[in-house]
């Protein structure tokens, strides 16, 4: 469960960074015609909104940074994340949220930390607390339902 949920935590910033980097990679990958089947929303597509005091993308380093009152909203995955800074390191496939990180997912799942690092390819999250504090994660566990006769 943590693995699936953790992918959804970082998806908003990954998606935003992919938009910023798309101009640099468009020449390498020609556009693909849309499939005849309906498009399913996955953790790497859909609308994402990033609000912050400052946002910048550096195509030479592949780093996208949002600083100051960062709020990431990903309605398709029902995730809202806040932090003082969010960075996506596209070459490393790493997302870093830092400073009072708070990630909420509809249904009661949440995680609070001082710093959260998400390794995209490995689908791994490392959450670090502030000095002298602890990381707090909350997961709503659903009781199994009785089989219907």
Domains and CATH numbers, the chain: 2-25+44-138 (2.60.450)
How confident is the model at residue 45, as a pLDDT?
63
The least confident of 25-29, 87-91, 97-101 is 25-29
Q: What is the pTM of this model?
A: 0.66
Q: Which residues of 66-91 are buried (b: 16+ CB within 10 A; e: fewer)?
A: bbeebbbbbebbebbbbbbbbbbbbe
Task: Identify which has the larger pLDDT, 148 or 131.
Answer: 131
What residues contact residue 130 under an 8 Å CB cut-off, 6+ apart?
114
Specify the DSSP class assigned to residue 75: G
* Percent of the chain residues topping a pLDDT of 90: 42
């Amino acid at each position: 469960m943590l693995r699936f949920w953790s992918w959804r935590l970082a998806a908003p910033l990954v998606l935003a960074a992919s938009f910023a980097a798309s101009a640099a990679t468009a020449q390498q990958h020609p556009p693909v015609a849309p499939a005849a089947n309906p498009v399913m929303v996955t953790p790497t597509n859909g609308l994402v909104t990033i609000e912050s005091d400052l946002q910048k993308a550096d195509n030479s380093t592949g780093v996208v940074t949002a600083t100051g009152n960062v709020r990431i909203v990903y309605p398709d995955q029902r995730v809202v994340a806040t932090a003082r800074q969010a960075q996506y390191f596209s070459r490393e496939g790493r997302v870093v949220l830092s400073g009072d990180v708070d990630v909420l997912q509809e249904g009661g799942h949440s995680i609070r930390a001082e710093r959260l690092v998400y390794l995209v390819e490995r689908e791994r999250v490392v959450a670090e607390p502030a000095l002298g504090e602890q990381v707090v994660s909350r997961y709503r566990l659903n009781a199994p339902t009785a089989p219907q006769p």
